[in-house]
Amino acid sequence: MKKVFLDLGANTGQSVDYFRRIYESTYRLDESVIDRLETNEFEIHCFEANPNLYHKFAKKNVILHKCAVWIEDGEIDFSVRSSLGSTLYESKTTGGGGTTITVESIDISKFIKDNFDIEDHLIVKMDIEGAEFKVIDKLAKDGTLEYIDKINVEYHAGKVPDFTVEDVNRCNDLLEDSGVDIIEWKRF
């Protein structure tokens, strides 16, 4: 069984740092955990499409995927904005104006199914600036949610006019119905 952390929308890598801190302290203190999940046991994959941020991962000891998390493999337009707001959605109202570039996209469902077994322990952080709704729908539709044990999602309803609070509720229902533990992290 592999232990895997997938950082979808890795930005500058602050989620990896946070993951390492909370999992080292949480599991070292909880002696009731039979299979201790220490961070040095985790395979860490970071997905980031903003080329201005790739240098942030040079010393992080992770596998960096220089692409946008999406529902299909290929190429897609990507709006590079401030370091906290780049997005696949030009209509996103936060993060300031930007420059549109073409980046590689990855079907994260296919990536998970091709690289991991359902018995593996997958923890996912998803902060993909509006794309989370379509990605979660696809993960549910093709059964990939069953591979995920825990997820932390930052939803962007209200920041992307195409999505509403109803979309957040629908996605949370899909996650819960699939048995995925929705975890909340404090802000970084």
Domains and CATH numbers, the chain: 3-70+106-182 (3.40.50)
CB-neighbour burial class of residue 25 (10 A; exposed 0-12, middle 13-18, buried 19+): exposed
Q: Give the max Cα distance, the chain.
A: 50
Would you state the pLDDT for residue 151?
A: 96
User: Which residues, listed in sequence order, are joined to residue 42 by a DSSP beta bridge?
Assistant: 3
Would you state the pLDDT for residue 188?
A: 40
Q: Which residue in the block uniquely carries the two structure tokens 């602050």?
A: 14
Would you state the pLDDT for residue 164?
A: 85
Using CA of residue 163, residue 169, residue 170, residue 176, what is the dihedral sign? positive
Q: How many CB atoms lie within 10 A of CB 178?
A: 17
pLDDT mean values, one per 10 residues, the chain (188 residues): 95 91 59 46 94 93 97 92 69 70 96 98 93 96 97 84 88 96 72
Using CA of residue 156, residue 162, residue 163, residue 164, what is the dihedral sign? positive
Identify whether the C-beta of residue 183 lies closer than 8 Å to the C-beta of residue 151: yes
Identify whether the C-beta of residue 87 lies closer than 8 Å to the C-beta of residue 81: yes
